[in-house]
Amino acid sequence: MAQQNLFIGSLAYATTDDTLKAHFETIGEVTSARVITDRDSGRSKGFGFVEFADEKNNQKAVDQLDGKELDGRAISVGLARPKEDRPRRDSGSSDRGGNGGGSFRQRSW
């Protein structure tokens, strides 16, 4: 069975993996802390995930850290939904812009 992660929302753009991990280590040992960034710009998307070594700390973190401030913003802390529960994105099969799924369009001038 997969380890249950915590979803952390409303993160400040200045929050890093290290500051997120340090904030949650007040609850218990953190095995992973990731701030999700935009693939193109590298800028934070304002949310992340935390995984504790002991899953018993998940509820403790929700109870103690939800609504608390990190880097000047009140964060939201909750249990992350498993990947299979999320709706799938239809990638590439939709006709974007009438040109075969977003491929480069040649100019005709």
Residue 101's region, left for phi above 0, alpha for psi from -120 to 50, else beta, is left
Structure confidence by residue, pLDDT tens digits, 50-109: 999 999 999 999 999 999 999 999 999 999 988 776 566 665 555 555 555 555 666 666
The whole domain housing 41 covers 6-78
Is residue 42 in some structural domain? Answer: yes
Is residue 86 in some structural domain? Answer: no
Is residue 41 in some structural domain? Answer: yes
Split into its structural domains, the chain has a count of: 1
How many Cα atoms occupy the beta-carbon half-sphere of 83 within 13 Å?
A: 4
Is residue 66 in some structural domain? Answer: yes
Is residue 108 in some structural domain? Answer: no
Comparing CA positions, the residue from 65, 82, 67, 73 lying closest to residue 30 is 65
**58: CATH:** 3.30.70.330
Is residue 70 in some structural domain? Answer: yes
This prediction has a pTM of 0.75
Structure confidence by residue, pLDDT tens digits, 16-37: 999 999 999 999 999 999 999 9
| DSSP conformational letter for 36 | E
Is residue 90 in some structural domain? Answer: no
Is residue 18 in some structural domain? Answer: yes
